[in-house]
Structure 1
Amino acid sequence: MSEYGFWSLLPPLAAIGLALRTKQVFLSLTLGIWIGWVIINGGNILSGSFDTLNAFVAVFEDAGNTRTVIFTLFIGALIALIQRSGGVAGFISLVKTKLESQEANNKNRNNRRLVQLFASLTGIVIFVESNISILTVGTLYRPIFDNLKISREKLAYLADSSSAPSCIIFPFNAWGAYIMGLLVMQGFDKPFATMMSALPYNFYPFLALGIVAYIIYTGKDFGPMKKAEQRAVEEGKLIADGAIPMISDEVSMLEAKPGIAHRSINMILPIVTMIIMMPMMLVYTGWSSLDTTDGSFIDLAFQAMGQGSGSTSVLTSVATALVVAIGLYKVQGLLGIKEMVDLSLKGMSGMVSLAILMVFAFALGSLCKELKTGLYVAEISKAWLSPNLVPAIVFLVSCFIAFSTGTSWGTFAIMISIAVPMAQSMGTDPHLAIAAAIGGGVFGDHCSPISDTTIISSMASASDHVDHVNTQLPYALTAGGVTLLMYLALGFLM
């Protein structure tokens, strides 16, 4: 158990509370990290302050963290090139053409419903990486949502709620590779089969997407989202009075270059390249660790994905997409090399604030690991558990850890290592416990205002961050509440 006990909870709780109170994410994360290092130094404010600065530097000692930050900057470059090449404009033209073809009884309502459906489907289809999915949905659909007077909060919700759930449901990505790696550590010799066997019990992502579909189809929003949508429709205000968008329109959006044709292929091809490259790179980076003399190619490929480097695969996939985009635009004569370099730098600059926020989030995650925040929560919960309650309690504890730390992946690492042996020793189906740990991690991360995906959703949609959290929370809590009831029922039935 953590030697810091209850004090290990104070840094993430302080960051969360301050973020909700002040809407200043940078300040909130900084204060949370500073409090944690002061605690580690026994209350010495001076030493804690020096260690806080060193904690930010230490983020880059981890190659995976560095790759993620670089990948974020590359995403900014790719988005800028896609926008300037007319790819985004071409895609938007396709969407508008589809909307116009649907004009019938209630034009405005049908258009609003259809464009929200397209946005959600886009987020689901780009299951290769949650951040790519969010950034794509937010960037591409914001102009269309603005034209139809759909609130920025709704766009942020749709981007957020279609990203991580789809990454879990379709685990041919870094998420799946990471989870399979954790399962291998727990002694499962067929991690892919184990993960897929647990998937039907992972209720939260399915329910989250189900609520998205229900809200889009019926138009029956509830909670703060209902007020946001009424404000957008009746007053034409896309954000609330006094709200502060996480990123400005000028930084995040670029007009297509004047005088060029708008072709959707200029957006689709680079994105498809990313999607194809991701599983290929997972296999490539994990292949050298396998005994290739045993098993079929398909089995070895799945095993390699479990051993592959997610951060390397993501970075390589985005870099390859950048190369494809540059070559495509050069061949068409749309953009010159110097122009594309300048655009790439401009796109990267628009992502600097996001990259900095990710550094802050990584620093907070490392701090929580040092304090053993997740382990403390998990250990004290063991006293409650009985075989029938294992799935529900694992889900609840995973929710709280992910909400407090802002990371689903860190929660997976903590809870799978505890839930699996606990379920096996208490006679509970381990697949159910695995699903509860993963679902709880996604749910808690989905609700947390310090989660990187929640932050990115606000930035990609140019929404006020706290408004995004407040409007999304009732939908997430609804799916989470139903999930908890289902785990309670299955705990007594299985």
Structure 2
Amino acid sequence: MNYGLLSLLPPVVAVILAIWSKNVILSLFCGGFVGAMIFCGGNPFAAVHSMIGDYFFIQLTDSYNAGVLVLIVFIGGFIKLVEKSGGAQAFGKSVYRIVNTKLKAQLCAWLGGILIFFSDLGTPLLVGPVFRPLFDKLKISRQKLAWILDSTSSPVAILIPFIGWGVYIMGLIQAEFDNLGVMESDYTTFVQAIPFQLYAILAIIMIPLVAFTHKDFSLMKKAEQEAAAKDYSFDESLSVDEGKADGYSLKNAKPIMVILPIAVTFATLFITLAPQGFPFKKVGGNDFRVALTMGYLFGALVLMALIQFFKVMNFKDTFKIYVDGMKSMTDVAITLVLAWSLGSMISGLGTANFIVETMQRMQFSPVLVPAFIFLFGAFVSFATGSSWGTFAIMMPLAIPMAHAFSIPYAIATGAVLSGGLFGDHCSPISDTTILSSTGAECDLVEHVKTQLPYAVVNGIIAFGCYILVGFTHSPMIVLLAVALQAATILIWNRLDFKKI
């Protein structure tokens, strides 16, 4: 059955509600309810019955989906333990003695953000307090630190397939492959999409590029000049609580409490999958998720042992933090179930087919599809402040469009992810934007104003390159994007921008 314009209602309702409410879960639920109402002829009771029985239950009983949800729970427990153990702060303090220049400080903060790849929200909360005193001492603006935190949180996490971001995204990709009946690997598609994640790559590379060339521009340049005249008090002590009885204290934390658990997680993953040829050969998705779940479990157990060994916290508190971390992933799990359900409804309604047919009648060129996906994703993400919500709304539209126009799925995926990230980086209501300003103790408005020119430069370059990608389908376009970024920084820096 062809639902025509009605097929647009569920995603449109989801987008409008997301913009209005800033609540992804509510938006996805209401979008799904509208879809169920269409299927049930406008009967609200039957629509609720269908949503629960035909979609929620079905999504939860799917073996792939169940594996993703279990993995996310274990990731949540591991991340919370790392964040609360004090190990990251101890690691940062250990480098204070050798980081004595502005260049070293910026590069170390950049590397610190990359090392905390497993948690986009953990980056500003862990790296920020560690490097803020050092940035103050070296007279580097807190706006610069906030930008570094923001550019190494989501942009790094979105490139990693074996953490929460990657698992979430691959879950959305696989759902669309199942709806289309396409025998493709979600893992392979994600990996192939990495060079097409142009905005994330540009955001990460811009930090060392600016640091090495000293080519700050626009309002960030002004902020750096003002920071050079300020005098912050510098406290080399760790900003952790000492109030623990019986010899337990976060002051006892050691850098190895970050290094060893992560090493154990990686080792478990590789040892488990190496007999199947990983990472050089494709492995089954279920095997990958099982190995990764084992890795995060073993990593957490090792961290718990280290916490006891160094007398950081007692076991009761340690285990409570781990369980609380698992509980904290409830919103992610709910979002995934709702996203899977909405995607299934959109597929059943033929929304993507209707959009494709309309674009074909308008003689819309297929080469512009990646740029269109990027631009629309950026709009949704900016308005909602949620990249994850944007992925959930856009993936059910982008992958079927790629299928219809014979565009590689990796390109469509990369455009969705880049668009969602670009809008999120520019949005003042994004959680990572807010946390980055918090971690750097920088005014939120100042962070947004100083980061925006950098984000817009990267976004414009990415948009132009997606137009070229529509013609070439070549992953080598990322090299052109980086070259354009470097040229833009050098040229813009020579101009005297007094106002934006």
Counting only pairs closer than 5 Å after superposition, residues 39-118 of structure 1 correspond to structure 2 as: 39-40=34-35, 63=66, 64-65=68-69, 67-81=71-85, 83=86, 87-99=87-99, 102=100, 110-111=101-102, 113-118=103-108
Residue 178 of structure 1 corresponds to 170
CA distance in 1, matches of 2:323, 2:426: 22
Residue 476 of structure 1 is matched in structure 2 by 455
User: What is the correspondence of 1:67-216 to structure 2 with a 5 Å cutoff?
Assistant: 67-81=71-85, 83=86, 87-99=87-99, 102=100, 110-111=101-102, 113-125=103-115, 127=117, 129=118, 131=119, 134-136=121-123, 138-146=125-133, 148-149=135-136, 155=145, 157-166=147-156, 175=166, 178=170, 186-187=182-183, 192=188, 199-216=194-211
Deviation at 1:154, TM superposition (A): 5.3
For 1:491 and 1:170, the matched residues in 2 are separated by 25
* 1:415 pairs with one of 387, 395, 398: 398
Aligned partner of 2:311 in structure 1 is 334
| Shift in CA distance, 29/399, structure 1 to aligned 2, threshold 3 Å | closer
Offset of residue 347 of structure 1: 6.4
1:277 aligns with 2:268: yes
Q: Which of 3, 7, 12 is residue 9 of structure 1 equivalent to?
A: 12
Distance change in 2, residues 1:169/1:183 (3 Å): farther
Pairwise CA distance, 1:270: 1.5
Cα distance change, pair 266–487 in 1 and its aligned pair in 2 (3 A): closer
Determine the C-alpha separation between the residues in 2 that align with 1:449 and 1:190. Answer: 26
1:15 aligned partner, one-letter code: A
Which one-letter code corresponds to 1:268 in the other structure?
I
Amino acid across the alignment from 2:318: L
Q: CA deviation at 1:323?
A: 0.9
One-letter amino acid of the counterpart of residue 119, structure 1: A
- Report the alpha carbon displacement of residue 216 of structure 1 after superposing the two structures with TM: 4.0
Q: Is 1:372 matched with 2:346?
A: yes
Q: Distance in 1 between matches of 2:312 and 2:216?
A: 43
Q: Choose which of 375, 387, 400 in structure 2 pairs with 1:406.
A: 387
Closer, same or farther: CA 474–47 of 1 in aligned 2, 3 Å: farther
Distance of aligned partners of 1:490 and 1:144 in 2 relative to their CA distance in 1, 3 Å threshold: closer
Inter-partner Cα distance in structure 1 for 2:44 and 2:426: 26
| Count of residues in Structure 1 that have an aligned counterpart in Structure 2 | 429
TM superposition score normalised by structure 1: 0.65
Shift of 1:342: 1.2
* One-letter identity of the residue aligned with 1:372: I
Structure 1 gap segments, 5+ residues each: 20-27, 103-109, 238-251, 288-296, 425-429
Distance (Å, rounded) in 2 between the aligned partners of 1:253 and 1:309: 36
Q: Deviation at 1:36?
A: 3.6
Residue 8 of structure 1: CA displacement?
Answer: 2.9
* Residues 396/135 of structure 1: CA separation in 2 closer, same or farther (3 Å cut): same
Query: For residues 34 and 321 of structure 1, do their structure 2 counterparts lie closer, same or farther at Cα, with a shift above 3 Å needed?
Result: closer
Name the SS for the 1:385 alignment partner.
Answer: coil
Instruction: Report the AA paired with residue 277 of structure 2.
Output: I
In structure 2, the CA distance between the partners of 1:223 and 1:47, relative to structure 1 (3 Å rule), is farther
Q: Deviations over 1:248-297 (max 9, x none)?
A: xxxx964595597553223211122233334556x38xx8xxxxxxxxx5
- Selected match of 1:442 from 418, 421, 424: 418
Kept in 1: contact 2:150–2:425 (CA 8 A): no
What's the offset of the Cα at 1:89?
Answer: 4.2
- Deviation track 1:49-97 (CA, whole Å, cap 9, x = no partner) reads 989x979x9797753335424532442133323x1xxx33431222211
Say which SS state the counterpart of residue 5 (structure 1) adopts: helix
CA distance in 2, matches of 1:9, 1:235: 49
| d(CA) in 2 for partners of 1:163, 1:371 | 32
Q: Which runs of 5+ in 2 are unaligned?
A: 233-238, 474-500
- What is the aligned partner in structure 2 of residue 358 from structure 1? 332
Q: State the percentage of identical aligned residues.
A: 22
2:15 paired with 1:32: no
Cα distance in structure 2, aligned partners of 1:275 and 1:342: 26
Aligned Cα RMSD in Å?
Answer: 5.3
